[in-house]
Amino acid sequence: MIIVIKKNSDKKQFDNLVRWVKSQGVDTDVSVGSNSTVLGLVGDTSKIDIDLVRSLDIVEDVKRIQEPYKCVNRKFHPDDTIVDVGGVKFGGDNFQIIAGPCSVESEKQIVFVAEEVKKAGASVLRGGAFKPRTSPYSFQGLREDGIKLLLKAKAETGMPIITEIMSIRHIDLFRDVDIIQIGARDMQNFELLKEVGRLHKPVMLKRGLANTVEEWLMSAEYIMSEGCKDIILCERGIRTFEPYTRNTLDLSAIPLLKELTHLPVVVDPSHASGLSRLVKPLSLAAVGAGAHGLMIEVHNDPMHALCDGAQSIRPEEFKDIVEKIDVMLPLVNKHRTV
């Protein structure tokens, strides 16, 4: 960390700052220039509160040199993390496809979709039980019952399941869920992150709508610092000024994350745009960008499309996407494993 001190600053305040920094177990190195003095911090600065330092009257600017995250930092863990979900491996040169309906609606529906997507190449079943909805008047999901139906589809097909948790109160219901999903709106629900981290189960952490890559990694650090080692990151689009798509899928984040962290990263092309006809091009784009997997919404019955989200595609389109992905995987040094 580099602290730029204002010209002609109060000597006593400067000494106070140096003393405080040292009390945090960090060494200092002072270099005096013509327009400002630069205080270099040497050692583990991850506990130094950068906002706090910036607030001081004598401080002109603060620049971080080290990343503020440790457990998730590739610098300290150069090897790829492989998250093993009942034999389904995320990370490294593995490529996985998670698929299923937006919402779980009935046993018939979820089992049917599970079978279809498994046949086409999906290795994990997704399905919304608790649904975060902008409006209190929109369908909030089947909730507890939705999880029971997912477990039935798991029993029927042998596929591991992933579904979103929305409250600490529901944690017990997730005992048999294979991957607990933390949604975009909860990415900085720090109390939830801590409790889920203590379960030591695989977690998928979606990027928040307006969160930087660094904040995303800090949230993964929250989970990991509680002992959980199995985190999958999921890019799902960020909020921008563009109104045509619901969110702007940030595929640059994929190669960046592979430098910064050892954790696997998947892409959700369905929620990113909110438009089902964009799922195919964005899926292929995500593979090209180097993602470790995809999470795609697939619905069963085009005649009941009204009950599905705007972002769902049909099983036959899903199959076509998977076939194209299989051609691409060797180009990005990955292979699909089941």
Nearer to a copy of itself by C-beta: 82 or 307? 307
Kindly identify the residues of this chain, within the stretch 125-144, that bind a copy of itself according to CB under 8 A. 130, 132-140
Q: Is 65 in the site for a copy of itself (CB under 8 A)?
A: yes
In this complex, which beta carbon is closest to a copy of itself, that of residue 65 or of residue 338? 65
Nearest to a copy of itself of 90, 222 (CB atom): 222
Q: Compute CA distances 259 → 88, 154, 297, 317, whole Å.
A: 23, 35, 28, 33
d(CA 46, CA 61): 17
Q: Which is nearer to a copy of itself, 27 or 176 (CB)?
A: 27
| Residue closer to a copy of itself (CB basis): 331 or 338 | 331
Question: Given the complex with a copy of itself, which of 122 and 238 has the nearer CB atom?
Answer: 238
Nearest partner of 294 among 323, 252, 324, 322, judged by Cα: 322
| Tokens 């975060």 sit on residue | 132
- Shortest distance in whole angstroms from residue 46 CB to a copy of itself: 5
Least distance in angstroms from the C-beta of 106 to a copy of itself: 17
Does residue number 166 form part of the binding site for a copy of itself (CB under 8 A)? yes
Indicate the residue among 29 and 145 with the shorter CB distance to a copy of itself: 29
SS3 of the chain: the string is: CEEEECCCCCHHHHHHHHHHHHHCCCEEEEEECCCCEEEEEECCCCCCCHHHHHCCCCEEEEECCCCCCCCCECCCCCCCCCEEECCEEEECCEEEEEEECCECCCHHHHHHHHHHHHHHCCCEEECECCCCCCCCCCCCCCCHHHHHHHHHHHHHHCCCEEEEECCHHHHHHHCCCCEEEECHHHCCCHHHHHHHHCCCCCEEEECCCCCCHHHHHHHHHHHHCCCCCCEEEEECCECCCCCCCCCECCCCHHHHHHHHECCCEEECHHHHHCCHHHHHHHHHHHHHHCCCEEEEEECCCHHHHHHCCCCCECHHHHHHHHHHHHHHHHHHCCEECC
Residues 199-228 contacting a copy of itself, CB under 8 A:
208-210, 212-215, 218, 221-222, 225
Write out the binding residues for a copy of itself, residues 294-323 only, by CB under 8 A.
Answer: 303, 305-312
User: Which of 327, 335, 337, 338 is close enough to bind a copy of itself by CB under 8 A?
Assistant: 327
Question: Among candidates 138, 234, 244, which has minimal Cα distance to 184?
Answer: 234
CB of 267 to a copy of itself, least distance (A): 10
The rounded distance, in Å, linking the Cα atoms of 109 and 15 is: 68
Least distance CB 139 / a copy of itself (angstroms)? 7
Binding mask 257-296 for a copy of itself (x = CB under 8 A): --x------------xxxxxxx--xxxxxxxxxx------
Cβ closest to a copy of itself, residue 118 vs residue 207: 207
With contacts defined by CB under 8 A, name the span among 87-95, 106-114, 154-162, 190-198 that binds a copy of itself: 190-198
CA-CA distance, 186 to 219, in Å (whole number)?
10
Least distance between a copy of itself and beta carbon 98 (Å):
19
- Min dist CB 307 to a copy of itself, Å, is 8
Does residue 112 interact with a copy of itself by CB under 8 A? no
- x-or-dash string of contact with a copy of itself, 16-55, rule CB under 8 A: xx--x--------x-x-x-xx-x-x-x---xx-x-xx-xx
Q: Which stretch binds a copy of itself (CB under 8 A): 91-99, 118-126, 146-154, 185-193?
A: 185-193
Nearest residue (CB) to a copy of itself, 86 versus 225: 225
